[in-house]
Amino acid sequence: MRWSRTSDSDIEDRRGQGLPGGMALPVGGGGVIGVIVLIVTLLLRGGGGFDVGPSLNQFPNSATGGSNIGNAPDPDKDLVDFLGFVMKDVQASWQTKFQAAGRQYQPTKLVLFERATPTGCGTGSSATGPFYCPADGKVYLDLGFFRELRDRFGAPGDFAQAYVVAHEIGHHIQNLLGIEQDVRSQRERHPNDESDLSIRTELQADCFAGVWGQNAYDEKLLESGDLEEGLAAAAAVGDDRIQKQTTGRVDPETWTHGSSQQRVTWFRRGFDTGAVDNCDTFRGSI
């Protein structure tokens, strides 16, 4: 992916700060209505968060690199600069779409952290993977997730990383448009539909990520193989693939994000059309 260094005003870097007493509790492991007990508990308390995939606490913990402690060089500086560029580009594209619709876009920030950090949805943990907190309107990410994405999920590449960020900003768009609040209300009225609503919410965020991908293509930011990297990342975090990898079996009744095929399909739909109207996952079959 072609990119250039820019200001990091869209990034809040908390790496190296940690939490008092070393406390590290997960926040939100399954989207707006997760199967993971912790996220359900948080939602019942009024918190919650959207993440890119099922909780990574299913995997053994791996070391997270990159820190802003002291004056040592940041080994992840290029990655942080890249994410800053992606944040600006994704948000600029959505600002244009909001303006065209006569709406005002409210920017979000990408919070980089290590292990755990306070959020408006409670204490966020790197074990949950990247997530969006609707309570404070921010995206949270431990850079170690990208190593998991590459090494454990088999989805390397800078556009795979960009897809993750665009997906989380997709949840921000849902928050701004009132979709998140509508889904929360539907969950309260129809608790038996929790899994279906969660999957539709996540697939829409995938589609929104694809809409930005089409914009990046129009801007000539994409290089050969970039789209394939994004599709591989979407497939890698499908519920069926992760369940197969972690438990050896697939249980659709417990899905929260959708299958690999569903995630690829909706990301590709957004990319191929570039139209937000084609991302209505709440109508018909998915």
Say if 258 falls within a structural domain: yes
* Distances from the Cα of 125 to the Cα of 114, 208, 231, angstroms: 8, 25, 26
Average pLDDT of 132-139?
Answer: 97
- Does position 258 have pLDDT exceeding 50, yes or no? yes
Say if 260 falls within a structural domain: yes
* CB-CB contact of 59 with 236 (8 Å): no
The pLDDT of residue 53 is 61
Say if 5 falls within a structural domain: no
Say if 3 falls within a structural domain: no
**Total-model pTM:** 0.84
Higher pLDDT, 82 or 67: 82
Helices (H) and strands (E) in the chain, counts: 9, 7
Distance CA 136, CA 49 (A): 10
Q: How confident is the model at residue 30 (pLDDT cuts 50, 70, 90)?
A: very low
- Does position 60 have pLDDT exceeding 90, yes or no? no
Q: Which helix (H) or strand (E) covers residue 209, if one does?
A: helix 194-218
- Please write the tens of the pLDDT for every residue from 188-214: 999 999 999 999 999 999 999 999 999
* Residue position matching structure tokens 């690829």: 264
The pLDDT of residue 152 is 87
> For the chain, how far is it from start to end, CA to CA, in angstroms?
30
Q: How confident is the model at residue 125 (pLDDT cuts 50, 70, 90)?
A: very high
Average pLDDT of 266-286?
Answer: 96
Say if 285 falls within a structural domain: no
Q: How confident is the model at residue 18 (pLDDT cuts 50, 70, 90)?
A: low
Q: How confident is the model at residue 70 (pLDDT cuts 50, 70, 90)?
A: low
Q: How many CA atoms lie within 13 A of 126 on its CB side?
A: 24
Top mean-pLDDT range of 11-25, 50-64, 154-168: 154-168
Domain count, the chain: 1
- Please write the tens of the pLDDT for every residue from 144-174: 999 999 998 899 999 999 999 999 999 999 9
Hey, which bits of 17-134 come out as E strands? 50-51, 110-112, 116-119, 122-125, 131-133
- Does position 61 have pLDDT exceeding 50, yes or no? no
- Containing domain of residue 199, as a range? 11-275
The pLDDT of residue 115 is 94
* Distances from the Cα of 213 to the Cα of 1, 9, 44, 100, angstroms: 11, 22, 34, 19
Torsions phi, psi for 177 (to 5 deg): -85, -5
Q: How many residues does the chain have?
A: 286
Say if 251 falls within a structural domain: yes
* CB-CB contact of 134 with 179 (8 Å): no
Tokens of 167: 């997906």
Say if 6 falls within a structural domain: no
Burial class (CB in 10 A: 0-12, 13-18, 19+), 282: middle
- Please write the tens of the pLDDT for every residue from 205-240: 999 999 999 999 999 999 999 999 999 999 999 999
Q: Mean pLDDT of all residues in the chain? A: 85
- Does position 273 have pLDDT exceeding 90, yes or no? yes
Of the candidates 234, 240, 236, the residue with the CA atom closest to the CA atom of residue 253: 240
Say if 256 falls within a structural domain: yes
